Structure 1
């Protein structure tokens, strides 16, 4: 049973399906990838980043947060097993926003050649990485509205720049559906593009809803899911609706992921996204 914010996703074939992997024959074919991105709104690229780089960053991240009580005592940082005691919130914030987010380790991961060079090749131009890059870990057992990322599309948060910005979501470790990875509403980018063109979606930055089953019904569409592996990435347009599943891992493992955004340097850049991420930055 898959849930998001406590809502149970319907598993009928017309409401739930698999994400489509990008086939190997297209991986070096830029035109084919663009056709696929326009058709699907996303690209699932298996093994894009060397898994050892993911493992190294995972150790760095959870190791930095361990003194705040995030990890179960006596477990390896790389395993990301959630602690059961209270968390030192002040220490947690200092480690996350004062050390991890502005670190060279994080920047190096986001600019690794299989990411930055890939975007240069795919976009056919010099590229800009938005400085505001978001890291999230979710603990198992958290559910109810507000615990998982609600349904949204990225453009509502990036109104001051180009609508051709591309997001990359990177699961930082193996992420089966039980761990709470991203899910995408099939074909929703086409509906959003139409409504954006008609000026009907110029709302303040906000999520659409936590009710994923209701949203699938209103769009008559499927939520698409996958078991992600360390090194896989999702590239998606600013228009496709997506959300996160709940983490129900029975072993207490936390989901760790990051979402970053690249665009052509020649396109308008949203100046608000050029500072390091902080959860009090109003975006």
Structure 2
């Protein structure tokens, strides 16, 4: 099968490339409210990397994992869909190009959107989470060593509930949230690693971060905690209790959400082009969401969400030790 090599957009001003703004679930974000993520080299001194994580609430590091290893993981994932209608005919699973003759809403992925309509695709998505090649990939030594060095951990734990997400062009992405919403069952600090599995153009559905949003996330969670005081212990730690929106999300509109919290300063959505091998690490209270996949080449956005703890931490959310299943309630 032919391989499609589509270059990422250039670093032209966003206004020249996307005059109508950038899409997220719930609407478009005006470019006046958009900036770029700050990239970091993995070769920077560790203390500088730690300082950036503290200051920004995220750390976008280029080339953490060897590129070919990431593309191998992408190919392995999409090979399983060879006999479905997900991929464009005569294209390589390594490229993961969407079949434009099918409807985006038939190919949903996890993240509040539900499962694919085709039972075969749904089973492939669920089974992918126990695939030995995927389980080995999320423990890639280049990734885990970087995390241990960054966090000064002797040993780490990666939670078993790691999730694979594929977002087809013009399908739904993941809504606005911070990760602590879903991991309230433990008091310990965890570090999220968001790993794009393949190149993702700036309008290809990659993760977008709300700038300087950790204090906002902490304030929202404190408000939720106060209002949950009368709930049962089980409801208090649920991301789906009565205080929350559907799917544990914070708002349907990215622009309205940023405007509604102006007391925390000027909040802009931060975006970037991601390349295979890049990783973004972020604080549990950093507010983020998927962009809308409007990639002009039809590239499917594939990524995985990983959460890491210090192995010696007694505050791990043990509910997340189990591998994800659609009915796990988390």
The equivalent position to 1:214 in structure 2, one of 237, 256, 260, is 256
What does 1:1-283 align with in structure 2 at a 5 Å threshold?
1-12=21-32, 15-23=33-41, 26=44, 29-83=45-99, 84-85=101-102, 89-98=118-127, 100-125=128-153, 126-142=155-171, 147-196=172-221, 199-200=225-226, 204-205=238-239, 206-220=248-262, 221-267=267-313, 268-283=315-330
How far apart, CA to CA, are the structure 1 residues paired with 2:179 and 2:188? 9
User: How far is 1:265 from its partner?
Assistant: 1.0
Contact 1:127 1:264 in 2 (8 A): yes
Q: 1:25-48 CA deviation, whole Å, 9 max, x = no partner? A: 62xx33222221111000000011
Q: How many residues align?
A: 274
Q: By how many angstroms is 1:124 displaced?
A: 2.0
SS at match of 1:68: coil
- Aligned CA RMSD, in angstroms, stands at 1.9
1:224-253 alpha-carbon deviations (Å, 9 max, x no partner): 111111111100010000001111122222
CA offset at residue 263 of structure 1? Answer: 0.9
Secondary structure in structure 1 of the residue aligned to 2:298? coil
Kindly state the Cα deviation for residue 93 of structure 1 after the two structures are TM-superposed.
2.2
Shift of 1:23: 4.5
Distance 2:170 2:93 in 1: 20
Compared CA separation, residues 179 and 31, structure 1 to 2 (3 A) = same
Q: Please give the per-residue CA displacement for 1:102-126, whole angstroms capped at 9, x wherever unaligned.
A: 1111111111111111122222221
Structure 2: tracts of 5 or more residues without a match: 1-20, 108-116, 229-235, 240-247
Alpha-carbon spacing, 1:197–1:6, altered in 2? closer, same or farther (3 Å)? closer
Q: Deviations along 1:114-155, whole A, 9 cap, x unmatched?
A: 11111222222211000001111111122xxxx111110000
SS of the counterpart of 1:77? coil
Hey, which bits of structure 1, 4+ residues long, moved more than 3 A? 85-88, 194-204
State the SS of the aligned residue for 1:213: helix
**Aligned counterparts of 1:37 and 1:148: Cα–Cα separation in 2:** 25
